[in-house]
Structure 1
Amino acid sequence: MNGVEAVRSRGAKVDAAHLSRYARGGAVGTFGTATAGYVGADLPVNAAVLTGAAVEWPALEAFFEARGTAPVVQVFSGDVAVHAATLAERGYTLSMLLHVHARGLVDLPPAGHDVRELLPAAWSVLAARAFGPGSERVMQVTAAREDTTLFACSVAGEPVGVGALSVFQGVALLFSAGTVPGARGQGVQAALLAARLERARALGAQAAMVLTTPGSGSERNVARAGFTLAAARATFQRR
């Protein structure tokens, strides 16, 4: 099975495991083929991932409503048709669409700038600089995750970019990549991609997966790093 096939077959389950790793400090619930996580008030990682057709909708929605937040569900493109009618009937609307890219872990891109691991406290501060005001809490939550490797990229000795890596079911998920203003356009993200792919291979992964905004600079970066568009992930929220 190549990288694209691995992500198409396992991507939703990888995403559910990823979500659960965020929510270890909050609450996790399983509702049929839906995995829901709540980390804290007003955090973008409060969501449920649908991995099959048998979703226990009332219990899933009660999980979020009991915590004072609107239900949010994430569905990979292969399953959107399965849930489309139910989502509409229950009052959900599309709030975000991301592209899911995949590649195998052979013929990796060359190393770029100096990329090293960074301790959680320092990583969360640098990540908040990269992602901007309002991101501080979610970056602290990201830095506190278990089984997550945190990277920083330096240019001329100055740390200017961040990225994170976790491995699930043989698939490495690359996420939380950003560069501080003023250091963009210097190959920082290319270096972070190359370093995380190398580490993923060393950790025994067979494939890598990354999500990007369609048409973004991040999408162009992952294409240059050998990733192929494998799927899309739609996010729906009930108002």
Structure 2
Amino acid sequence: MQWETDMMQVQYRLYYLIGKDSDVFQREKDATDRALVGNSLTAAGPEHLTVITGTHTGNIRLAVELRRDEPDPPGPQWEAAVDVSLYSTSGRLWLSEWAGELIDTAGNLAHAGSGWYRVRVQARGRDRGAAQGTVQAWVEEHLLSIWPAPPDCDKVHRVTDAFGLHYYDPQRPAASPAYPADALPWAIRTDNAGIRAWAEQLGYDAQGQDRIVAAIHAASLGKPPAEPPP
């Protein structure tokens, strides 16, 4: 294990991984909303990852491991376990508390430089954390595993805690990875300035990507409509 602590401070049931140029509060709401209507545990975007805890305020136990490849399947002790893809544009990725306080002792977690990473978030004790709300000594434990890997959809290994099951619906399709501007597949296939302008206007969340890609397909990758898609 590269790093661990019994005093990872969470507030409003949140903590983060953030990149060098990430604005925590700008990205927080989008990622939190996507997590709560998705896998219940985590969601990522360019230079950012949000993790949902059961504990509202106080300390959790957190361990971080940096890997070259995918770890073994999650052990049965973990009540929730989810893999997501995260793109680091800066090659810098830091553990952060809710208020933006970086945990320098954990070091730079983008250990392979800029590019795509897979992050597995594993949690247990979220029900105890939710029941107590505010804690001093930890009752909830998380493990983050981070390794370089191509982008892929979210992979839910399991969600068995009551807190997670309140939000998680296994019938929903797995969320797609959130691409940064210079990594979107459509941006590689076309240099159309209008399409790039739409991307700036719509942003790079999953909904924006779907709208942009749909417009490109409708326009046969070269003849975009006069207006951005509704």
Q: Give yes or no for TM over 0.5.
A: no
More strand by share: 1
TM-score range, shorter chain: under 0.3
